[in-house]
Structure formats: structure tokens, C-alpha cells
Chain A
């Protein structure tokens, strides 16, 4: 089928891809950021191709399916060094050693020209919780409050940490593919408005491995810059060749001039004497330094730092730690997870 003028024009844009990172694949994902063929997007709603980079953990597979089904049509999935799911159909497979850019570009053009069929959903279009027929009115809840009306957990009132007003609290899970969190980290959060009331680690971050420390640092600084609404500078950071001293020093000057450090409030997320601003400042200073080790190895638990923080502040605190420190600060919470795994999985139906 011939491409329309609109499709031809669209096919000249960089391929919008969303990257779902698997185990041992952090350094390779960073190379995608430097590619001129693709534009790595941070919202699955903007992506045309989902890249599964490396084998996902077993426990992340359902989340990956939900992520896939949120991508608008026409869409495809590329499996880069990963085995396609059985339901994936005509998958784009890229070997671990190949550059996926050219293959993605041709697949993208085929999608827009309707030569390649858009992938159907991988999950049935059912509510995440069974609800029909339950409750006094068959609405899935108990009376007027509680339960999961229409398959969704209902927001319930609880004391607010700021002023004690009893307002609705809402519990849901973000991760393991949330773009403002390190790959793999999944948190169950209870919010009132935009303030975090409680947090629990559902899944820990992926282990970065020994040789990915430099790449992880660039990606973490990139996430921090994005949280400070400096998306273009974040892209520069994620793509900068760490062996190029001039480029790295130039990047540091850009970051300094943007007031990125000073934008982070003093005292935020203090742990072992350091706050988020100090940790971020050190991380920026260590960019391009392959020998720089993980900063402090602070003891403590990430989830204890988050209650009472506003959404943006909480994400700044999380990303102010190096990836390796986060692995230590956010271990899997085994006992609680077993108790409430069911409800956590159900809440993930919100697809964040």
C-alpha cells in the first residue's frame, strides 16, 4: 500500500520509542539516547514502538503487558536481546549486539504505511478486580464506602500529615517502568492529594552490575534534570560521551547555569548528613569519572524518607541517590509483599 503524504512526513520524524529495561541492560539503553534514528519518550502514550531491552524479570512481565496495551495504535514491540512473549505475534527481534536504530526506522515506516499490522492488546479488556454482583447494590463495594466499585479501589478518608484534615487517600503502585524512577523499582504509594502518606517497596531496582556505574550516573542525573523540567538538558546528559572530557565539562557548565542544584530545597531527604541537593551536586561532579565510586553507601530505608513529601520532592529524593545506593536502600519487602501482593497487583490496573 502506498504511503500517504501524511504518513511519509510522519515517517521522517525520529521513531518515538519507550524503553522497558530488563536485567543487565542499563548501559545499552543509554546508547539509544544518543541515536539520531529514535527519540526516547517518557510517556508510553507518545510511543509507537516499545523496546524491551534485555530479559524482563519474571515478576515484571504482567506490568510489561499492561504497559504495552497503553500504547496507541499503530504500534509494535521490539525485543532487543530478549525472547518475545508467546502473545507478541510478529515480533521485531534485535540481537543483543546489533544497533536497533535502522530496524526500528523501517518497522516504523511500515507501521505508518499500514504494511505492518498494529499489534493487538496482550491482555483481555477486563476490569483488574472482579466486582460485578458484589456489595449491596452489585457495585463491588460494601454499602456506600470501601471495596472496589467497578473494579477500582475507592479512595478512603484518612488523617492528612500536613494539617490533620481527614481527606481521601488513594493507594496505587508506580513502576517498575515508571520513567521518573530507576528501572525496576516499583513502589506502592498512598497519596492524599499530592502528598505521600506511606510508601512500600514492591520491587527493588534492577541491579546495575559492575560495569554500568558510569551509564547509570548519566541516566540518574538525566532523570533529576527532567524532574527539574529541563528535558532538553536531560537528553544532552543521557547522550553525552562520558570519555569526551570537553563534552562532559560543557554539560556540567550547562547544568550549573540552569540553577538545577539551587532549585532543590536545602534539607530535603536528609540521610547520613547529606540532603538531596548535596547528593545531586556530587553526582554531577562525578559525571565522566569512571573511577568515582558510589558516594556514601548510606544506611537506612528509602520508604522512611518519603512520607510527608510532595510528589515532586519525593521523586527528587529517590533520584538523588546513586543507582547502587538505591539497590541497598530499597530492598524487596518480602513479608509485607506476601500479605498484600494481591491488592498491589490489582491496583496496578491503573497502568501507571
Chain B
């Protein structure tokens, strides 16, 4: 029960924190007043709640409602495998990394359904495009996560944390965290990996959405950002491990650090066209993830 409360609190706090730093970073880069950006998430939320929800012509209503709900559930399920302290996790199973991987993969389905359900061209293109880019990005993540399991000799997330008592995986496997961050950008539809909700498609899977529906999708994306950041902090930065402060405080601090990195990349790094990214994914990034796996294996055998 303690872990469940911790998961819900971390998700709620993460959504607020993510929305705030996003607004502040956006204002700073856009040259707008940063002070007013602090209140921006609340004002935007109120604005979206005050607007009409749009119904397109003959939408797939069931999937239209299910997509944001499932996205939110996947974020919560993914976060449930993250331990807040030794033995304190909602889903403390020996195959936690596999469960997280399943959540990642299902994000592809959810984003596609979101694009499909509007019954309109631009959201549909956004959905298909996301599938094309999202699938190889998932493969990279799988290899990188297996790399973190090797020194732990377990697929359990708690074991992966404990294996970092001497040296965190971000140092032990230097390619791992950067590659994993790319996956984070992809499953949260952000910046250089935003191929589903992108501006050239006027918001892609979100092009025909307004009001509460827009708010739900945005909230779900921020929840996934929180879950991903907590996972990255756990498998690469030692999670709850750290001196002086209690374990949960270390996890929150490291999660916030990863979120800040992702938000900064979102607003500062350009995105390449999809065909070029697809080439890079298969010919550069995927081979790099093999190298990371071999590196992790050799290091684990020492």
C-alpha cells in the first residue's frame, strides 16, 4: 500500500513538475517572461477544461476514449516496477524489466489508436509515422535494458539497483543512458523524436482534439515522462541509492534530473525528417545498442 501511494504521488507530482519546467523552458527559449510561465500549467488546464470537446465525423469513439486512458495506465504500470527503497515497489517481480518493456511497446499501439480514432487524415499520418519510428526505437531500448540486467544477473529492477552500489550503470555502460534517453523522447512524443504529435501535421494524433480530450492526452504524456524518468534514474543512476538522504528522496531527485534533461533536449534540438531518422535508427543507433550490449557483457564477465 505504501508503494502504491508513493507511485500515485510521484505520478501527480511528476505531471505538475513536468508541465512547469516545460512551460519555463519554452518561455526561456521563446524569449517570453519566465515568471508568468510558473502559473502557465494551471491556466492552460483551466482553459482546456473551459473549451468544447470536439467530435469529428464518424470517429472510433471507443478507441478515442481508450487511447489517453491506456496511455495513463501504461505510465502507472511502468512506474509500478520502480523500487522507492529496498523492497518497496508496487510490482516487485523478478521480471520487472520485461514488464517495463511491455509498457514501452504498448505505447506504440496506444499512439496509433489515438491517431486512428479521429477518422481524419493528419492524425492518421501521425499514427502510422509513429509506428514506423517507434518500433526500432523500442528495439534499441530492449538491448540497452538487457545490458543493465547483465551485471545484476537478473531481470528484476531491484536487483539492477543493487548491482549499482559500487558503480552506477551510467558510468559502467556509457552508451546506455544516452540511447535510453532517445527512447524516452520517443515514448513521450517529444522534440527530436516527436513523430506522432508533430507540428508539420498540426499536432498529428492531436490535430482534431480540443478541450478535455486534449488535457487528458497531455496529462498522460507527462505521466509517461515521469515514469520513464524514474525508470532511467533507477536502471542507470542507481535509483534510491545515495548517501545522507533517504532512498525515496534520491529517487525523486534523480527522476527530476532526467526530466530536466529531456525537457531541455525537447526545446533545444532539431528533429530530422522521418525517413532520415529511420535510416539512422537502423544503421547507426541499433548497431550502437549492440555495442552497448557487448560492452556490458564483457564488463560483467570481468
**Which residues in A have some Cβ–Cβ distance to B below 8 Å?**
6-7, 9-10, 12-13, 16, 36, 42-43, 45-46, 48, 72-74, 112, 150, 170, 172, 178-180, 191, 193-194, 225-233, 235-236, 239-240, 247, 254, 257-260, 262-265, 310-313, 315-316, 350, 352
Contact = CB atoms under 8 A, between A and B. Distances in A.
B194 interface: yes
A310 B274 contact: yes
Nearest to A12: B43
Given A258-B269, A258-B270, A352-B122, A229 B199 contact: yes
Contacts of A263: 270-273
Interface string B10-37: 0000000000000001111111110000
B210 A46 contact: yes
B247 interface: no
Contact of B51 (A48, A236, A254): A48
Contacts of A191: 121, 125
Question: For B30, B40, B49, B128, which residue has the most chain A Cβ atoms within 10 angstroms?
Answer: B30
A36 B32 contact: yes
A31 to B, nearest CB: 15
B44 interface: yes
A13 B270 contact: no
B294 interface: no
Contacts of B214: 45-46
Contacts, number: 146
Given A228-B270, A228-B271, A230-B270, A312 B50 contact: no
A313 B273 contact: yes
Question: For B29, B42, B128, B203, which residue has the most chain A Cβ atoms within 10 angstroms?
Answer: B29
B164 to A, nearest CB: 32
For the complex of A and B, the 7 pairs showing the least CB-CB separation, nearest first, are A9-B46, A229-B271, A13-B43, A232-B29, A10-B46, A235-B30, A72-B52
Nearest to B33: A36
Contacts of B267: 230-233
Contact of A43 (B46, B58, B207): B207
13 contacts: A6-B49, A10-B46, A43-B206, A45-B203, A74-B51, A229-B270, A233-B267, A235-B31, A235-B32, A236-B31, A265-B276, A352-B121, A352-B122
A264 B275 CA distance: 11
Contacts of A194: 125, 128-129, 274
Contacts of A232: 25-30, 267
A6 B46 contact: yes
A180 B199 contact: yes
Interface in B178-224: 191-192, 194, 198-203, 206-211, 214
Given A36-B33, A45-B207, A311 B275 contact: no
Question: For B27, B33, B47, B269, which residue has the most chain A Cβ atoms within 10 angstroms?
Answer: B47
B9 interface: no
A160 B192 CA distance: 28
A260 B270 contact: yes
A45 B270 contact: no
B129 A259 contact: no
B39 interface: yes
Contact of A73 (B31, B51, B269): B51
Contacts of A259: 269-270
Given A235-B30, A240-B31, A350-B120, A311 B209 contact: no
Given A43-B203, A73-B51, 14 more contacts: A13-B44, A16-B47, A42-B202, A43-B202, A45-B209, A72-B54, A170-B121, A226-B199, A236-B30, A258-B270, A260-B270, A310-B273, A310-B275, A350-B121
A28 to B, nearest CB: 20
B257 interface: no
Nearest to A195: B275
Contacts of B194: 229
Given A258-B268, A258-B269, A265-B276, A13 B129 contact: no
Nearest to B191: A229
Nearest to B272: A263
Question: For B53, B207, B276, which residue has the most chain A Cβ atoms within 10 angstroms?
Answer: B276
Interface string B125-141: 10011000000000000
B208 to A, nearest CB: 6
Contacts of B122: 352
A310 B128 CA distance: 13
Nearest to A118: B52
A11 to B, nearest CB: 8
A329 B53 CA distance: 40
B239 to A, nearest CB: 31
Interface in B29-79: 29-33, 39-40, 42-44, 46-47, 49-54, 58
Nearest to B49: A6
B273 A13 contact: no
Question: For A13, A172, A247, A254, which residue has the most chain B Cβ atoms within 10 angstroms?
Answer: A13
A232 B43 CA distance: 18
A73 B268 contact: no
A124 B76 CA distance: 44
Interface in B155-189: none
B213 to A, nearest CB: 10
A338 B56 CA distance: 31
Contact of B200 (A112, A172, A233, A312): A312
Question: For A6, A73, A230, which residue has the most chain B Cβ atoms within 10 angstroms?
Answer: A230
B83 to A, nearest CB: 34
B226 to A, nearest CB: 21
Given A36-B33, A232-B25, A236-B30, A45 B271 contact: no
Nearest to B31: A236
